[in-house]
């Protein structure tokens, strides 16, 4: 029967198209690797084959986080394969993923936030008003609401409720959630929509898109990265603003589950990394200010 990759992909109805593509690529890479050992069917794979594959990835220099993701993809596949009758045994059971790299997400300093929002680099001082209004609105939403950059780029005008200071975003797995908008974000969005957006509208403009690039098309995540980089004192990814949003909330005493809901995390474990970030920040303060730190 073979690996039936198309049937597996069709079964992934609860995840985004990007995630389906990742699962499919990981499965194809594994099937190609074990084919070198004469394995052509999922039912012929043993735990030894899976562990050998992970060992080869390690030897090839893959990051531990990437290896763990590939193992997760195989687990997902074999759960489906056993239910579908392609195999009776799941060879991923009992195989441990390597420990994650342990790198904590980058959190911007107050001075970096100040530069981004209020005192951008002089290179942008000559920008036309509509560009400055767009860029500020984008940054205020990223930092003030903690949305993913893909969620921000997907915003339509109908998703905004400025009177109630909230927006509806489409997150991972096509799940909708409402996020609050900060007071500065509401002001910045209002100015952009009233005084700036029309300057970029063209025949190519999606009628409902909130954020547009300089050619009038819907803003892309790559466009957003360029905007952040132009205003930041050093190269900065938009996701750093999401990390900073979450960490600042926890530093201010917010409940972990409230932060989980705001970020749209399905698993509380994904949010808990920010508690580690906060602890590291507190440790850094202690070491730099206490006489015996």
As annotated, the active-site residues are 148, 172, 239, 242, 265, 274
Residue 163: both structure tokens together = 């009177």
Sheet of 160-161: strand order equals 160-161, 166-170, 176-180
**What is the rounded distance in angstroms from the CA atom of residue 190 to the CA atom of residue 165?**
11
Residue 152: C-alpha distances to residues 9, 93, 108, 138, 142 (Å): 27, 38, 19, 8, 7
Distances 7 to 21, 45, 77, 255 between C-alpha atoms, Å: 13, 19, 11, 41
What is d(CA 293, CA 289) in angstroms, rounded to the nearest whole number? Answer: 7
Question: In sequence order, which residues have a C-beta less than 8 Å from that of residue 284 and are 6 or more positions away?
Answer: none
The residue to which tokens 């070491």 are assigned: 287
| Nearest partner of 11 among 76, 94, 70, 93, judged by Cα | 76
Nearest to 157 by CA among 201, 104, 210: 210
Q: How far is Cα 185 from Cα 192, in angstroms, rounded to an integer?
A: 10
Q: Determine whether 228 is exposed, middle or buried from the number of CB atoms within 10 Å of its CB (0-12, 13-18, 19+).
A: buried
**Contact between residue 136 and residue 186 where contact means Cβ atoms under 8 Å apart:** no
Instruction: Report residue 246 as tokens.
Output: 């979450």
């Amino acid at each position: 029967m073979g690996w039936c990759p198309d049937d597996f992909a069709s079964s992934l109805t609860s995840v985004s198209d990007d995630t389906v593509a990742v699962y499919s690529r990981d499965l194809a890479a594994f099937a190609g690797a074990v084919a070198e050992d004469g394995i052509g069917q999922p039912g012929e794979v043993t735990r030894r084959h899976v562990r050998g594959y992970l060992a080869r990835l390690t030897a090839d220099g893959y990051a531990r986080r990437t290896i763990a993701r590939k193992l997760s993809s195989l687990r997902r596949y074999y759960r489906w394969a056993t239910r579908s009758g392609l195999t009776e045994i799941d060879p991923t059971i009992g195989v441990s993923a390597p420990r994650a790299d342990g790198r904590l997400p980058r959190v911007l300093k107050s001075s970096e936030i100040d530069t981004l929002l209020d005192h951008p680099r002089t290179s942008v001082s000559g920008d036309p008003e509509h560009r400055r209004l767009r860029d500020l609105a984008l940054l205020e939403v990223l930092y003030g609401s903690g949305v993913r950059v893909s969620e921000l780029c997907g915003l339509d005008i109908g998703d905004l409720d400025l009177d109630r200071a909230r927006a509806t975003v489409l997150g991972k797995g096509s799940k909708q959630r409402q996020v609050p908008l900060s007071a500065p974000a509401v002001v910045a969005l209002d100015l952009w929509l009233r005084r700036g957006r029309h300057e970029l509208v063209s025949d190519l403009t999606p009628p409902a898109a909130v954020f547009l690039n300089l050619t009038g098309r819907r803003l892309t995540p790559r466009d957003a990265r360029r905007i952040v980089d132009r205003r930041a004192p050093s190269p900065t990814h938009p996701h750093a603003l999401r990390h900073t949003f979450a960490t600042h909330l926890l530093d201010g005493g917010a409940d972990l589950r409230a932060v989980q809901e705001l970020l749209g995390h399905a698993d509380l474990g994904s949010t808990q990394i920010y508690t580690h970030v906060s602890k590291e920040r507190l440790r850094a303060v202690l070491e730099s200010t206490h006489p015996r730190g």
